Amino acid sequence: MTPRQVHHGGRTISALLTLIAVAVGALLAGAAPACAHAVLTGSDPRDGSVLKAAPKQITTTFDESVSLVENSLRVLGPDGRPVTAGNPHHAGGRGNTARVALTGGLGEGTYTVSWRVVSADAHAVSGAFTFSVGEPSRTSGSTAAAPAVDPAVEALYGVCRYVAYGGLALLIGIAVFVLACWPSATSVRVLRRPLVIGWWALLASTGVMVLLRGPFDEDEGLGSVLDPGLLLRTVGTRPGVALSARLVLLLVVAALVRLRQREPEPTRGVVAAGGVLSLGLAVTWAVAEHASAGIQVPVAVSSAVLHLLAMAVWLGGLVALLVALYRAPANDPLPHAAVTRFSRLALASVATLAATGVYQSWRGLGSWEAFTTGYGRILAFKIWAVMLMLLAASYSRRWTGRLLDVRRKERVLLAAGGEASPPSLPDDGDPAGPVPQSSWNGLRRSVLAEVTVGVVVLVVTTVLTGTQTGRAAEESAATASRVPGQPDVNLTLIPYDTGEKNLVGRGKVQVALEPGRVGRNVVEAIVYGADDSPVAIPELRLTFTHHGRDIGPLDARLADERGYWGTDALNLPVAGTWTMKATVRVSDVDQVTVSKTVTIGR
């Protein structure tokens, strides 16, 4: 790689950064909702409502499928005693709901409902709300949600996640560096220790996470980590299966490394097996994190896998390069070709990180406003850290170019019959050959800076994967901003006239949207005839179109409920003004389509 090529690599990085900015802007401008970390979108009874009679059950609805445990729904009466009867379950088999029956004979007063579920991306979330029977109590308990996870369990689980990410980067990055950049016995000796450290770090952290997953899901303390029943339930969950599969893959990795030690050169079979194992390890993360919930799950999982592998190859490879620069023996130094190969590999990793990072940023944020959320601020910090890492990488490529330019000049002199070591480039004892010591020191410093910033990026990434996404945070804020006790229903009247002069030939359709906001809505439509009394018709179809965002028409798919037409599965992805079209068919040949605008809130 010549200085010109290195300079070209720097221009490539600049172009990538520009592309990232343009792509993020375009995607955020036309973003649609996605979910991660479950958000409570509705409840029956509603928060703050006052009922005339006591309900028989409590139902909560979320924006994605959730896992339930014994204490997922707890209801306390005005005296603070539990009034639930049995364990919570999914209402009607719908995975995004939780329902629990109540005991009979409930008296007047305010009741507190606390909920705690595990979202589809394996994060525990909790909350609370109240409702009253008869009239509210004069004094009512706090509705503040208890922590979703025991603090000690959450802290230890978080530390293990940091260690696991670091172990994965060392394991994959060093292995790729040895196989692709420096395939020699010396590289195995020099890099064996950090490779083993990465393997043990990943194995130990994953083993502890398996033990902690049960208490994490069911809000138990550290004393329950060895509970056999809890451990058995854990291995049956998606996170438990992913963690268990990771342990099995690590054992296979150990066997593969032992096989590699017996062979002087890596065979194609060993390389292929290593690639499959690396892919499998990355998948165990993607199927249990943000990518596993929300829109475009197959694309998101694939993007997350590529992002994780590119991170591991780049950061772990940097560690391998740094160790080799300092620890390679004088009689068998790090070859220049290895530095060149890794430089190209790192550039490919950066391109992959840029492409997948843009997609994941769009999916996690959804709008520029979401940068004000906790997730958005952490993501912005990560972007700046990555840019700083790329700046350090550009300096590494410059030093690499200088080293390789020296070698190129030596080859030219040798071909011309000159000296192997030009007088202007004395052999000062550097283990890599007659190259100025300052060049090697400069490369070591720049790579060390890359590794340091890379560790920060890895820590920030780990925090980011455990943080509620910007989309979900905005939806949570919108839900929390609703006024308790007030009906959250959007009511619209649409007049129609088929031309037939009879009871059902003309009238109006009353459409109720609950809650009339972004996300899942319940629709109840009643058709009134000419005398303002409810009438039965053969068919009623309702569609929604957002012309500003070019969304729709979305069919509400109403079902005849014998008295009204309804559905609970209408999903409106964005706020704003929608055009609601009602097709009213009153006979086999008479129908009319009428429309009216409706405003959907956040």
What is the rounded CA–CA span in Å between residue 448 and residue 189?
Answer: 21
Q: Of 293, 127, 281, whose CA–CA distance to 201 is shortest?
A: 281
Whole-number pLDDT of residue 203: 95
Q: What percent of the chain has pLDDT over 70?
A: 73
Residue 553 tokens read as 């028409």
Pick from 24-28, 255-259, 266-270, 418-422: least confident: 24-28
- Return the higher-pLDDT residue of 2 and 256: 256
pLDDT of amino acid 206: 94
pTM: 0.60
* Higher-scoring residue by pLDDT: 141, 75: 75
How far is the C-alpha of 73 from the C-alpha of 93, rounded, in Å? 16
Q: With 70 as the cut, is the pLDDT of residue 555 above it?
A: yes
Count of C-beta atoms within a 10 Å radius of residue 132: 19
3-state secondary structure 522-539: EEEEEEECCCCCECCCCE
Cα(468)–Cα(377) distance, integer angstroms: 12
pLDDT tens digit string along 351-390? 887 788 777 777 766 666 666 677 777 777 777 877 777 7
User: 19-33, 38-52, 279-293, 485-499: lowest mean pLDDT where?
Assistant: 19-33
The answer to whether 77 and 109 have CB atoms below 8 angstroms apart is: yes
What pLDDT is stored for residue 263 in this prediction?
Answer: 61
Mean pLDDT of 38-52: 81
Strands 539-546, 551-555: pairing kind: antiparallel
Q: What is the pLDDT of residue 386?
A: 75
Predicted confidence at residue 250, as pLDDT, reads 93
Q: Could you read off the pLDDT of 93-110 as tens digits, one per residue?
A: 788 888 999 988 888 888
Task: Provide the pairing of β-strand 124-133 with 490-497.
Answer: unpaired
* Strand duo 124-133 + 50-51: pairing: parallel
Span 294-304, average pLDDT: 80
Position 433 scores a pLDDT of 43
| Residue 575 bridge partners (DSSP) | none
pLDDT tens-digit series, residues 379-432: 777 778 777 777 776 666 666 656 555 555 544 444 555 444 433 333 333 333
pLDDT, position 397 = 64
Q: Is the pLDDT of residue 146 over 70?
A: no
444-458 confidence digits (pLDDT tens): 677 777 777 777 776
pLDDT the model gives residue 27 = 36
Q: What is the pLDDT of residues 459-471, one digit of tens each?
A: 777 676 666 665 5
CB under 8 Å, gap of 24 or more: what pairs does 493-496 form?
Answer: 493/596, 494/580, 494/582, 494/594, 494/595, 494/596, 495/594, 496/582, 496/584, 496/592, 496/594
Q: Is the pLDDT of residue 281 over 90?
A: yes
Which residues are 492's β-sheet partners?
511
Q: Is the pLDDT of residue 486 over 70?
A: no
Report the pLDDT value the prediction gives residue 400, as an integer from 0 to 100.
61
**pLDDT at residue 16, rounded to an integer:** 42
Q: What is the pLDDT of residue 202?
A: 94
Contact 498, 590 (CB under 8 A): yes
Q: CA 307 to CA 174: how far, in whole Å?
A: 17
pLDDT tier, 532 (very low <50, low <70, confident <90, very high otherwise): confident
Nearest to 508 by CA among 582, 457, 458: 582
pLDDT at 509 over 50: yes
Whether the per-residue pLDDT at 143 is higher than 60: the answer is: no
User: What 3-state class would DSSP assign to 370?
Assistant: helix
pLDDT at 240 over 60: yes
| pLDDT given at position 357 | 77
Running DSSP on this structure, what letter comes out for residue 89?
A: E
At residue 201, the pLDDT reads: 94
For residue 291, pLDDT over 50 is answered with yes
pLDDT at position 207 is 93
Average pLDDT of the chain? 76
Closest CA to 381 of 438, 263, 464: 464
> Kind of pairing, strands 73-76 and 124-133?
unpaired
The pLDDT of residue 264: 56
